[in-house]
């Protein structure tokens, strides 16, 4: 499924937690309708962030859909609580589970749009059944754990491969790129095939979150416009 725009989902990880209401308002006024929430458990990744109660509080503040990215071990233990708290999309890491299928089913049965996140070093081989059951696939362009890291350009060929595979197989999930997205890197990410650009530091550390959202969206549109030109960006072999 190809779209005519690339959505920007600001990651609240880099927002001012003491004034989340204003931070959310700023990006929603710039046209955002999806907020990315990074859940970290201090185990699957070295950092700790939000739990389901926080997702519930954000749900009350936001008019956007919530895209909840679980960077946690044993996601099956908490999935229901995160969905009940107000996740519209919920993703967990393929690296964190033995079998993703039952969890995707559970999340869908609870009323969320389920998906998986894939680390930079994880290949797409052997994931066909999992991908077929997803509404959203998050391609990590940083190693998860922290905001503000640099975009890993070597993941771009994998994003394009996923985009091509989706067309080939007739799958309908959305592709999200997460990590190091800014007004420069958004272009190549969108060109490679993503529908949603997550951006944390580039939005909330910019001094003008609304303007940053608009700039990233514009860069995304430029990339989308070049998508048919397969040589617009050099595709290095996956590193
Ligand atoms: C990384 C998180 C990302 C992160 C993106 O562990 O999953 O969502 O917040 O932040 P930036 O855009 O700052 O890389
Ligand atoms: Zn994330």
Per this entry, what is the length of the chain?
239
**38 a catalytic residue:** yes
Q: Is the pLDDT of residue 237 over 60?
A: no
Neighbours of 103 (CB within 10 A): 22
Stretch 197-203: mean pLDDT, rounded?
98
pLDDT at 239: 44
CATH number given to 7-225: 3.20.20.70
pLDDT at 2: 61
The model's pTM is 0.97
- Each residue's pLDDT tens digit, 68-102: 999 999 999 999 999 999 999 999 999 999 999 99
pLDDT averaged over every residue in the chain: 96
d(CA 62, CA 67): 12
Q: Which atom of ligand 1 is nearest to the CA of 148?
A: 13
| Sequence-ordered strand ranges (E) for 24-112 | 34-40, 65-71, 89-93
Of 239 and 177, the structure prediction assigns the larger pLDDT to: 177
d(CA 120, CA 143): 6
Q: What angle do CA 184, 189, 191 make, to 5 degrees?
A: 105
Pocket test for ligand 1, best of 17, 35, 38 (most atoms within 8 A of CB): 38
Residues at CB less than 6 angstroms from ligand 1: 11, 13-14, 36, 38, 69, 142, 144-149, 178-181, 198-202
Per the residue annotation, which of 4, 178, 195, 229 is the catalytic one?
Answer: 178
d(CA 86, CA 63): 11
Q: Is the pLDDT of residue 225 over 70?
A: yes
Ranges of each domain in the chain: 7-225
**208 a catalytic residue:** no
Q: Is the pLDDT of residue 1 over 70?
A: no
Q: Which atom of ligand 1 is nearest to the CA of 69?
A: 7
Categorize the per-residue pLDDT at 50 as very low, low, confident or very high, splitting at 50, 70 and 90: very high
Which ligand number lies closest to the CA of residue 146?
1
pLDDT at 236: 60
Q: Is the pLDDT of residue 235 over 80?
A: no
């Amino acid at each position: 499924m190809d779209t005519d725009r690339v959505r920007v989902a600001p990651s609240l990880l880099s927002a001012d937690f003491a004034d989340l209401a204003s931070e959310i308002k700023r990006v929603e006024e710039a046209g955002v309708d999806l907020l990315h929430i990074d859940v970290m458990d201090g185990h699957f990744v070295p950092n700790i962030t939000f739990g389901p109660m926080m997702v519930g509080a954000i749900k009350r503040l936001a008019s956007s859909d919530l895209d909840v990215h679980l960077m946690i071990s044993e996601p099956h233990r908490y999935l229901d609580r995160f969905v009940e708290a107000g996740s519209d999309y919920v993703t967990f890491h393929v690296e964190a589970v033995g079998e993703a299928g039952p969890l995707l089913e559970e999340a869908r049965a609870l009323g969320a749009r389920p998906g998986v996140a894939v680390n930079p070093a994880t290949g797409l081989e052997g994931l066909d059944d999992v991908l077929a059951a997803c509404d959203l696939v998050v391609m990590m362009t940083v190693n998860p754990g922290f905001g503000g890291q640099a975009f890993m350009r070597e993941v771009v060929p994998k994003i394009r491969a996923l985009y091509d595979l989706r067309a080939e197989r007739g799958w309908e999930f959305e592709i999200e790129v997460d990590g190091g997205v800014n007004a420069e890197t958004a272009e190549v990410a969108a060109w490679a095939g993503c529908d949603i650009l997550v951006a944390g530091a580039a939005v909330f550390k910019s001094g003008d979150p609304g303007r940053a959202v608009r700039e990233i969206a514009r860069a995304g549109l430029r990339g989308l416009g070049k998508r048919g030109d397969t040589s617009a960006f050099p595709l290095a072999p996956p590193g």
